[in-house]
A and B are shown apart, each in its own frame.
Chain A
């Protein structure tokens, strides 16, 4: 009898435990905070509602806000242990948080389908990967792009979609365009700023394993820079780009208003994923485009093309139900309905599948999708703290200009640039 009674009691106890567990599951509440505009807010809230419907008992309280003061507030909350469970973070600020404390879960420990992302892309620090731990996931992609005028390229017999494209290939293509096209036809629409940022800076990172100023000291040698500047000189000498005198009217990021681009005289334009659509809109009406390849030097350990995410999503250590937060992130990034709802509200989506969906329903043009695919495939380390300063860029603009005007030989310009870059060392 005693045995029966104790068995009954144990059973009753077990029942309460299980009932309690079920109850806990029914009442899980998570907090998710991000910043953004109306469109992003609406799409994100819809995805939250979809997830809640599929997971009865889970409530996600959303806290959309403005970017103003966002990270200061979050820093205080992280330190005080009151941060929301899921947070959107600026990738440039993320390293500071990571350095200041153990605030985030390693997302590899949870059931998130990481295969949806390109491994090379999420395994970059800027995209949330710190010392072998995936502390955040990238929400999108930004980076360089090459927009190719399909009809003109075909007409002139040049193909800018080459596997394993090398820097010299550009020069050869440029020569071919000048030989086959009319007087105003050039391979690239590009000014000194674009040549410096997209070509010189990317090339430099390919030669320095991705970081030009490791630990604040210049890693680029004069010989390496001379090699890059020889390429720049060849670009102008072989008229792969219009003359520096002509482009003087289109400084900065103003190349989309170049009259010759409007008239469809260029085979391609140097651009960013975010400006691809602008370039197309400013090109001749009805023209078709494709995304061109980006050159990577043979043997380079880093693609050099600075492609990164505008935000990362992370789960904070104070979250009491990280497995449910992870399930939400999994839904957010890998569920097709979620991808469709989110569209391109956090820039070009980070996964190929989401880009495909966005392209299919018109939220992204195929061209942008392709450009993003190329940038992700090549990838590279984003510019370091010194290399990305306005001062450093201006030094490179001046050097490109000096070479283009023939005031300096590549070797002279390289010696001069190295001397100036050394002054930026920290």
Chain B
């Protein structure tokens, strides 16, 4: 009897108002279907085809993937570079953002102006202009080398030395720590003062308070930032493409560049789709790992 009445209720679920709601949702729905779901699925289909832009599509099964894993000399290198890139930038950005947020989390005159100043680099985002500026700063006769020359260090090839070039590119990403900083600042403000006061009475020092109060309290935001930044840095393209063009000797040739070159320089769309799917799965696995470990270190207030 209960079951029946539930069914009766379900039958009447869509009223005129509901349909209106669907109508309002339609633009979003159409957007996600056309701009997200369709390319998502078609890229999977392309990845099993030999498909050159403007040419015909030949089904080749897993050939693109087999070539990628076994014969492509750039794939493993760019996968390694991408991991390395994320390994420098994600922790670098988080540590710097947190340090600056802690520094700015105080009530002094003009604090808002200072906070804005630290946030400005993030406004430039992944812009080409800022990447160009970075290249100009770090080139052999750039401002950084001029400054180093005044302390007796000469001729550092920042962009032309393997190992160094990647760090230069990472530095640009780390420099744009503003958005993470703002989130940390908001989280820090929400940590109850009483916890610190109680700890102080118990004689806890600054580091103790930081590790036992601050970090656990802001861990949800830390988790979110870690996840977000990892995904973002794995997909980075602009900075290495503009600053180093993937060089020297492909030492900054991240997956984003590899994908772009195959797809848009060589027009191997099928192959590029396969690369993007491998990259997608790599990011997915990494995300799941971060999610999995979160139980151990993320503390929510309502737990």
Contact = CB atoms under 8 A, between A and B. Distances in A.
B interface: dominant SS: loop
B157 A246 contact: yes
A405 B157 contact: no
B266 A389 contact: yes
B121 interface: no
B141 interface: yes
Contact of A247 (B138, B160, B161, B249): B160
Contacts, number: 53
Contact of A245 (B135, B141, B157, B250): B157
Interface residues of B, number: 21
Interface stretch (A110-118, A217-225, A361-369, A394-402): A394-402
Given A249-B135, A249-B139, A402 B249 contact: yes
Most chain B CB within a 10 A radius of its CB, from A251, A398, A405 = A251
Contacts of B248: 244-245, 248, 401, 405
A5 interface: no
A90 B261 CA distance: 27
B165 interface: yes
A391 B266 contact: yes
Contacts of B266: 389-391
A259 interface: yes
A171 B41 CA distance: 55
Contacts of B160: 243-249
A248 B250 contact: no
B249 A245 contact: no
Interface in A230-287: 243-252, 259-260
B216 interface: no
A105 B211 CA distance: 86
Contacts of B139: 248-250, 259
Nearest to B246: A251
A175 to B, nearest CB: 22
Nearest to A257: B136
B261 A248 contact: no
Nearest to B243: A249
A245 B245 contact: no
B165 A248 contact: yes
Interface in B213-262: 244-245, 247-250, 261
B249 A407 contact: yes
B128 to A, nearest CB: 14
Nearest to B135: A249
B16 to A, nearest CB: 49
Given A245-B157, A246-B157, A247-B160, A401 B265 contact: no
Contacts of A248: 139, 157, 159-160, 165, 244, 247-248
Contacts of B140: 245-246, 249
Nearest to A262: B141
Interface string A351-390: 0000000000000000000000000000000000000011
B68 to A, nearest CB: 15
B75 to A, nearest CB: 15
Contacts of B162: 405
Given A259-B141, A389-B266, A391-B266, A251 B157 contact: no
Contacts of B138: 249
Contacts of B135: 249
A252 B245 contact: yes
Interface in B157-173: 157, 159-162, 165
B161 to A, nearest CB: 6
A259 B139 CA distance: 10
B250 A398 contact: yes
A366 to B, nearest CB: 31
Nearest to B244: A248
B161 A245 contact: yes
B245 A401 contact: no
Nearest to B262: A391
Residue with the greatest number of chain A CB neighbours at <10 A, chosen from B244, B245, B250: B245
A245 B141 CA distance: 12
For A249, A260, A401, the residue with the greatest tally of chain B CB atoms inside 10 Å of its CB is A249
Interface string B12-51: 0000000000000000000000000000000000000000
Nearest to A246: B140
Nearest to A242: B140
Contacts of A405: 162, 248-249
Contacts of A245: 140, 157, 159-161, 248
B157 A390 contact: no
Contacts of A398: 250
Nearest to B138: A249
B259 to A, nearest CB: 15
Q: Among A248, A259, A260, A394, find the residue whose CB has the most chain B CB atoms closer than 10 A.
A: A248
A251 B250 CA distance: 13
Given A245-B140, A391-B266, A394-B261, A251 B249 contact: no
Contacts of B157: 243, 245-246, 248
A406 B96 CA distance: 38
Nearest to A389: B266
A250 B157 CA distance: 13
Contacts of A246: 140, 157, 160
A401 B159 contact: no
A251 B157 CA distance: 15
B164 to A, nearest CB: 10
Contact of B249 (A243, A259, A260, A401): A401
A241 to B, nearest CB: 13
Closest 8 CB pairs of A and B: A245-B160, A249-B139, A248-B160, A245-B157, A251-B245, A248-B159, A390-B265, A259-B141
Interface of B: 135, 138-142, 157, 159-162, 165, 244-245, 247-250, 261, 265-266
24 contacts: A243-B160, A244-B160, A245-B140, A247-B160, A248-B157, A248-B159, A248-B165, A248-B247, A248-B248, A249-B135, A249-B142, A249-B159, A249-B160, A251-B244, A251-B245, A251-B247, A259-B139, A259-B141, A260-B141, A390-B265, A401-B247, A401-B249, A402-B249, A407-B249
